[in-house]
Structure 1
Amino acid sequence: MRILHTMLRVGNLEHSIEFYTNVLGMRLLRQSDNEEYEYTLAFLGYGDESEEAVIELTYNWGKSEYEHGTAFGHIAIEVDDAYQACEEIKSRGGTVSREAGPVKGGTTIIAFVKDPDGYSIELIQAKS
């Protein structure tokens, strides 16, 4: 068994695809419309779906926002250098909600960014 994808509902698919590709450096792997049920799916990731988990963005036509609730926390992405990643994300128009630094009570370097729908993405610096 393996994890295939994490699905997020988004209010503006084009804006979200732009964020995940241009700000976080993922690739749009595939996209499809379902005319009968009025939704579009877009799958994005850093590698091929056959080998890596990806993000599925679901846009329900005409729905522009969602309540996040209290159960979902964040998506985590490993980066080589969290400080540099934050600077690159800001230079590409992304929002850093917690600058890079040690996790409270530990030494792991983390940061948080927000996607266009307000979902949190944790950047975790790779251990050398």
Structure 2
Amino acid sequence: MGNYKMAHTMIRVLDLERSLVFYKEALGFEEVKRRDEPTYEFTLVFLGDGNPNGHQLELTYNYGQEVPYDLGTAYGHLAVLVDDLEASWADHEAKGYQPTQPKGLSGDGKPRYYFITDPDGYKIEIIRN
């Protein structure tokens, strides 16, 4: 059996530039590589969190898509870790991303996570590292 590692997760986006702005401003992700395929009418943009060997988020933009994608009932959310949950929440609140109230799953009552939503409706869980 091979030594498997996560490579990327792909999501389809309606407006590539709007999504790039969101992921850069909200999460600090940076473009790692881009692949334009005009013959097949799509552009792929891979975003990373600064770890050159880490998991990436692939944004797929299909030319001519005019209506938002149906996210379906099987999709759950993306999850990212942050060192300072409270500062992250305050930043997302100030930028108008409408974060949910932080919640915790453990019995100590300490908030552990909250959610924001990207421009296409994908939920993103922000988790205390």
Fold match by TM threshold 0.5: yes
Shorter-normalised TM-score: what interval? 0.7 to 0.9
Task: Tell me how far apart the structure 1 counterparts of residues 115 and 37 of structure 2 sit (CA, whole Å).
Answer: 33
Q: 1:79 aligns with which of 79, 82, 90?
A: 82
Task: Determine the C-alpha separation between the residues in 2 that align with 1:60 and 1:104.
Answer: 41
Work out whether 1:124 is the aligned partner of 2:116: no
Give the partner amino acid of 2:5: R
2: distance between equivalents of 1:78 and 1:20?
A: 14
TM-score, normalised on structure 2? Answer: 0.87
**Secondary structure in 1 matching 2:43:** strand
Task: Write the deviation string for residues 59-109 of structure 1: whole angstroms up to 9, x where unpaired.
Answer: 00111410000111001101112221111123234231x221213877561
> How far apart, CA to CA, are the structure 2 residues paired with 1:78 and 1:24?
10
1:33 aligns with 2:36: yes
- SS of the equivalent of 1:101 reads coil
Aligned length: 124
Alignment partner of 2:103: what SS? strand
Identify the range of structure 1 (26-35 vs 101-110) with the bigger mean alpha-carbon deviation: 101-110
Alignment of 1:9-48 (within 5 A): 9-48=12-51
Gaps of 5+ in 2: none
- Whether 1:69 aligns to 2:72 is yes
For 2:57, give the aligned amino acid.
I
Q: State how far apart, in whole Å, the 2-side matches of 1:105 and 1:75 are.
A: 24
Q: Does the C-alpha gap of structure 1 residues 67 and 104 become closer, same or farther in structure 2, counting only changes over 3 Å? A: farther
Contact 1:113 1:121 (C-alpha < 8 Å) held by counterparts: yes
What amino acid sits opposite 2:30 in the alignment? Answer: R
Q: What is the distance in 1 between the residues matched to 2:121 and 2:86?
A: 21
Relative to structure 1, is the Cα distance of residues 81 and 42 closer, same or farther in structure 2, using a 3 angstrom cutoff?
A: same
Aligned-residue CA RMSD (Å): 1.8
Q: Counterparts of 2:106 and 2:59 in 1: how far apart (Å)? A: 31
Question: Which residue number in structure 2 is paired with residue 55 of structure 1?
Answer: 57
Percent identity for Structure 1 against Structure 2:
39
TM-score normalised per structure 1: 0.88
